[in-house]
Structure 1
Amino acid sequence: MSSLAGLVAVALVASLFMSFTVGANSNSAPIAPAVGANAISTLRGALLVGIVAALGAVAQGGRISETIGHGLVTGVTITPLAATATLLTAATLITIGNSRGYPIPSAFTVTGAAIGAGIALGGGFAAATYAKILGFWLAIPIVEGVLAYAIAWLLLDDRVADPPSIALLAGGVGSALATIRLAVLPSPGGGPGSIAGVVARALGLSTGTAGGLLVGGAIGLFTAGVAYWQLRRDVSTGIDRMLVGLALVVVFTSGGSQVGLATGPLESVVTSSLGLPSIYLLGLGAVGILLGGWMRSPRLIQAVAREYASLGPKRAIAAFIPAFLVAQAAIALGYPISFNKVMISSIVGAGLVGRASGSDGVSATKTGYTLGAWIASMVGGGAISFALYHALAALPGLG
């Protein structure tokens, strides 16, 4: 086996390891509020995490993968050696955090590691890209915290009836879900299509934005009607079903936003060196996410569900909706994000309503430790990846 083929094989294994770690770590967080609200068991939640996140990885993972693979350094093409250094560094750091019960943000770690290996390879800093991504990251806790707090306050207000308020939220999520781009659906331009777009064309409506929005609105109204009917029959059962449904939507979104962290460093390797379309790489990542979600996620599900905030069903709903919207915005823009950060920001915002009413609310100590881990993971990931690349390059036959 040639040295290039050997490096590609090692990099593919590293990508599988990283996607396994992502499945165990980042994709666990979205199901946590449903577990914390006792709407679903931990083990059943872990099973669903693996399956649904893997589907999301294939359907929506391309944009993030492209950014990680091509957008973080300038002037160089990521080599198998640099990809291996990136993935081994990130996966190891995330696994250590996972084993200690502290969710390490995959996006921070992978981004830092990718930049470190790219600079070691001789590339330059993509400053404009960093500014955009950093601005998005800084906005996440503010936007999500405010939205989650506002939704939780509304749902917990005794003056607001549950059926219409929750049904309205369900309709909004249904409409948004119908208009997101999925790689498995066709579009007239040849890129990813949406459910609304496919239905609009099937009904002979406008193939442009107007037709898709019209169908998306109709799907939202239908979703709201179904939710309202269920809530009128049995409020408690309706809330639990809404909670689990939202959890699965967010898990699907997490797969699409997180798989690129595992596959992105190999984008140029697979498309250039092997001449394969990136869908094969996303499939490999989906397999790793599936296995990681099944085998390692229960501990992290418990950590996020129990240790960061005490959420009831309504506050859990309030945590899911901003997480879904922000993560889909990140996918559309191609920005890597940490789903741990996304979920914890929403959980904190919704949990603060609990604190205001005298419950245990948010664990400030746990949240503080997590913030420190976020910063350390990105800086440490860059430094370690830089050093690891040079160490590997010094080995006979690899330099």
Structure 2
Amino acid sequence: MAWALGANSNSPPFAPAIGANAISTMRAAFLIGIFAAAGALTQGGAISETVGADLIGGVTITPLAASTGLLVAASFMIFGVYSGYPVPAAFATTGALVGVGLSLGGDPAFGTYQRIGTFWLLVPPMSGGLAYVTATLLRREEVPETVGVPLLAAVVGAILANIRLGVIPHPERAQGSLAEAASFAVGRPLVAGVDVVAILATVVVAAVGFRYIRAKTQVSAEQGIRTFLLILGSVVAFSSGGSQVGLATGPLENLYSVELGLPSIILLGIGALGILAGAWMGAPRLLQATSREYAQLGARRSIAALVPGFIIAQVAIALGIPISFNNIIISGVIGGGLAAGSAGVSRRKIGVTLAFWVITLVMSIAIGFGLYRLLSTVLGIQ
């Protein structure tokens, strides 16, 4: 399952960079594996908990149920890798786990479904809309590239300073951010209830990002833009690993944590290794599909596609909501492409992909339900 995630859902973050000829396909696959595996280890816990415990009520996911759900979801995604149509991992996994959970005798968790479904429905307009606006602004002559692109780098830097990472301790929860670590290091002084050190740390990181990209763009606008595009691909791939590994590890949370008594970092480590292998072995094919067939993007519109993807991914991780990176990045690619006119967007490809997403969700529920019922009857176990 983690292999399929590495080959499928962790591929889109670098697709715009390949489409803009900022990096080769094989080099992108290598970087995807490294950054996605790191994200899986440091940010994967929240999504894993949601997938493992919150999708079905009244029952505990058994080893057979977990195996069935993972088999169904991974099969959908591997089909996507070799068909060239990116399958949304969150749709496939959520549907499969709901199907096996219902077959196991569990109760639907309608509150969780409503929360997840609402977020999923908001992703295309948010990602596509932000990408369209950002691409339009970057194309305006009155906004110099030596200002507009560095400002986007500052925004990314500010967010990076505040994302929660498992390697940063926090006295009140499992994960802390870089800005919080800086604040706690000096005693966390508050001014009128405001953590001024955390704010200062955020400003410093944002300023470093602005200054670095501005220096690059002043030397060469094109080189500076491509440098920022590669950095964006890296941080989005990192976020992708953090949000996607839980789709593989979540069904096994009860087995590892409760029955075997193992720390969750071991399970996340296994998932990270699978993602690494999948990215290196299976990502190039899908990278070609998403970068060449959806839209012919330049470097500027590619940046516009990745910035909202990074923001939405980190919001989803903070909320513990499983998401499809195919959904996020492809919506951003389409929004960025439309900023220059619809000629660069394959309407047929988009329509087929959207239909395939809906089919994936419905069919994964049905197949998960039926396959678990068949296996439990044939094997005589639960």
> Same fold per TM (> 0.5)?
yes
Show the counterpart of 1:126.
Answer: 109
**Does 2:56 match 1:56?**
no
Show the counterpart of 1:280.
Answer: 266
**Does 2:324 match 1:338?**
yes
Letter of the 1:86 partner, please give it. G
Which TM-score applies when normalising by structure 2? 0.97
Task: Measure the CA separation in 2 of the matches of 1:96 and 1:250.
Answer: 24
**Does 2:69 match 1:86?**
yes
Task: Measure the CA separation in 1 of the matches of 2:77 and 2:134.
Answer: 32
Taking only aligned residues, the RMSD between alpha carbons, in angstroms, comes to 1.2
Show the counterpart of 2:281.
Answer: 295
Kindly indicate whether the alpha-carbon contact (under 8 Å) linking 1:58 and 1:283 is maintained by their aligned counterparts in 2.
yes
The residue correspondences of 1:317-396 to structure 2 (distance < 5 A) are 317-355=303-341, 360-396=343-379
Q: 1:391, CA displacement in angstroms?
A: 1.3
The residue correspondences of 1:1-399 to structure 2 (distance < 5 A) are 18-206=1-189, 209-355=195-341, 360-399=343-382
Q: 1:191, CA displacement in angstroms?
A: 1.7
Q: 1:210, CA displacement in angstroms?
A: 4.0
Kindly indicate whether the alpha-carbon contact (under 8 Å) linking 1:68 and 1:261 is maintained by their aligned counterparts in 2.
yes
Task: Measure the CA separation in 1 of the matches of 2:119 and 2:145.
Answer: 33
Q: 1:227, CA displacement in angstroms?
A: 1.4
Task: Measure the CA separation in 2 of the matches of 1:352 and 1:211.
Answer: 41
Bigger shift: residues 221-230 or 317-326:
221-230
Task: Measure the CA separation in 2 of the matches of 1:185 and 1:50.
Answer: 22
Q: 1:159, CA displacement in angstroms?
A: 2.2
Kindly indicate whether the alpha-carbon contact (under 8 Å) linking 1:353 and 1:361 is maintained by their aligned counterparts in 2.
no
Task: Measure the CA separation in 2 of the matches of 1:213 and 1:236.
Answer: 32
Task: Measure the CA separation in 1 of the matches of 2:83 and 2:379.
Answer: 36
Task: Measure the CA separation in 1 of the matches of 2:4 and 2:271.
Answer: 10
Q: 1:209, CA displacement in angstroms?
A: 4.4
Letter of the 1:114 partner, please give it. L
> Percent same amino acid at aligned positions?
49
Letter of the 1:335 partner, please give it. I
Q: 1:196, CA displacement in angstroms?
A: 1.3
Q: 1:225, CA displacement in angstroms?
A: 1.4
Task: Measure the CA separation in 2 of the matches of 1:52 and 1:87.
Answer: 23
Give the unaligned 5+ runs of structure 2: none
Letter of the 1:230 partner, please give it. K
Task: Measure the CA separation in 1 of the matches of 2:354 and 2:50.
Answer: 24
Secondary structure at the counterpart of residue 165 of structure 2: coil
Kindly indicate whether the alpha-carbon contact (under 8 Å) linking 1:186 and 1:198 is maintained by their aligned counterparts in 2.
yes
Q: 1:204, CA displacement in angstroms?
A: 4.7
The C-alpha deviation readout for 1:100-143, integer Å capped at 9, x for no partner, is 10000000000000000000111000001101110000000111
Bigger shift: residues 220-229 or 371-380:
220-229
Kindly indicate whether the alpha-carbon contact (under 8 Å) linking 1:179 and 1:213 is maintained by their aligned counterparts in 2.
no
Letter of the 1:164 partner, please give it. V
Kindly indicate whether the alpha-carbon contact (under 8 Å) linking 1:25 and 1:94 is maintained by their aligned counterparts in 2.
yes
Bigger shift: residues 213-222 or 59-68:
213-222
Kindly indicate whether the alpha-carbon contact (under 8 Å) linking 1:309 and 1:348 is maintained by their aligned counterparts in 2.
yes
Letter of the 1:188 partner, please give it. P
Q: 1:214, CA displacement in angstroms?
A: 2.5
Task: Measure the CA separation in 2 of the matches of 1:321 and 1:52.
Answer: 17
Letter of the 2:214 partner, please give it. Y
The C-alpha deviation readout for 1:374-396, integer Å capped at 9, x for no partner, is 00111100111111111111124
Secondary structure at the counterpart of residue 26 of structure 1: coil
Task: Measure the CA separation in 2 of the matches of 1:283 and 1:48.
Answer: 18
The C-alpha deviation readout for 1:186-215, integer Å capped at 9, x for no partner, is 112242011111223334553874432321
Secondary structure at the counterpart of residue 335 of structure 1: coil
Kindly indicate whether the alpha-carbon contact (under 8 Å) linking 1:23 and 1:290 is maintained by their aligned counterparts in 2.
yes
Q: 1:49, CA displacement in angstroms?
A: 0.6
Secondary structure at the counterpart of residue 291 of structure 1: helix
Task: Measure the CA separation in 2 of the matches of 1:263 and 1:318.
Answer: 31
Letter of the 1:75 partner, please give it. G
